Structure 1
């Protein structure tokens, strides 16, 4: 919701903050809250777009190097060396499972961010302090917080009694910081350093206070962090590009070695084709695990 004031809310007095969000000390009426909820949406983070687990596992088992190893393992079985074939396939499966698990844990870390928003909150509605679902909060609501509570939305402090906030979810700092209701006129400071703001996802370390909601859902500082974490397109890093070049080089060496070994053993050593194929697969497979581990 856009503020009806030219100045940011942290620079306004408490009285001016009420006017900026078109609210009042006794809180919004239920009718007003319902209208704002319908207009601006629920106070929840948008769901992440995820690929199905099966497709992500398939990605780890069917990349360029893995496909070559699948072929090498198959050729080992054709050449009558099942032990070599199983060993090659085991390299693919172990490497794929490890890569999939790393990606899975990273996704769960993003999902854990949503767990920092509380399911219930105490809010003033129609002049009475009520307990409501946190996703029903709207801009202009007055919420009550005490020690141990998680902040459900970005709020301007309107009342503070020995209030300290744990900002570690946003800043990584372990020490709680004090919060007060005084306006601040300094420019250039990020929202997390404004001592009269309570940011969504943070925890009240001690004391108690009340806040005026001025941003909800993805408009909060916490929501923007979650959005950036989930939507940032992953590009190939310089190190990954260099590793890919090395892998392709090793792959060409492995394939060339296999072809050369097969041709030499058939034409010069007069070995049987299957026996020559076994030697070729063995010489190529000596390079493949190195390339797969780099990949």
Structure 2
């Protein structure tokens, strides 16, 4: 449209090529945006249905008793037991582990599982090895 406006300002009878090009490009952008929006909305609905199909459970020790609860009910002070293949139900501080490895690829993009241990290895909580983050997977 800008090229057509410049052409119209400088010529008496400008060619309509740039106007047609602007209209076509605008239509393509609008149509592509609509398709992207509907595709994203559809994907979001599918992901929500997966979350609702299998409610995540967590094995916790609360008040000295081991119990299976919904992951949304995990509170500060619960001791959470995580095994290989489990999804981490909340941000956790590791107090005991035996060869624990966590797949952080969904958060950091790292392809290799990261070792987790009770030792505080860094002042930054995002870098230390004694923290496991919500929605990552314990692989070992």
TM-score by length of 1: 0.33
Q: Which protein is bigger by CA-based radius of gyration?
A: 1
Gaps of 5+ in 1: 1-87, 207-295
Matched, 1:203 2:140: no
Instruction: Provide the aligned length of Structure 1 versus Structure 2.
Output: 111
Deviation at residue 149 of structure 1 after TM alignment: 0.6
Structure 2: gaps of 5 or more residues: 1-22
> Is the alpha carbon distance of 1:194 and 1:104 closer, same or farther for their aligned partners in structure 2, counting shifts above 3 Å?
farther
- 1:196-224 Cα offsets, whole Å, 9 max, x none, are 00100110011xxxxxxxxxxxxxxxxxx
In structure 1, the residue matched to 2:20 is none
Root-mean-square deviation over aligned CA pairs? 3.1
Higher relative strand content: 2
Partners in 2 of 1:99 and 1:121 — Cα distance?
40
Match of 1:182 in 2: 119
Instruction: Point out which structure has higher relative CO (alpha carbons under 8 A, 6+ apart).
Output: 1
Equivalent runs, 1:24-35 vs 2, <5 Å: none
TM-score by length of 2: 0.66
User: Does the aligned pair in 2 maintain the 1:123–1:131 contact within 8 Å?
Assistant: yes
The structure carrying a bigger helix percent of its residues is: 1
Alignment check: 8 A CA contact 1:167 1:173 kept: yes
Q: Which residue of the partner structure matches residue 98 of structure 1?
A: 32
Matched, 1:168 2:85: no
Please tell me whether the aligned partners of residues 120 and 128 of structure 2 are also in contact (alpha carbons under 8 angstroms).
Answer: no
2:6 aligned partner: none
Give 3-state SS (helix, strand or coil) of 2:99's partner. strand
Residue number in structure 2 paired with 1:159? 96
* Secondary structure of 1:181's aligned partner: coil
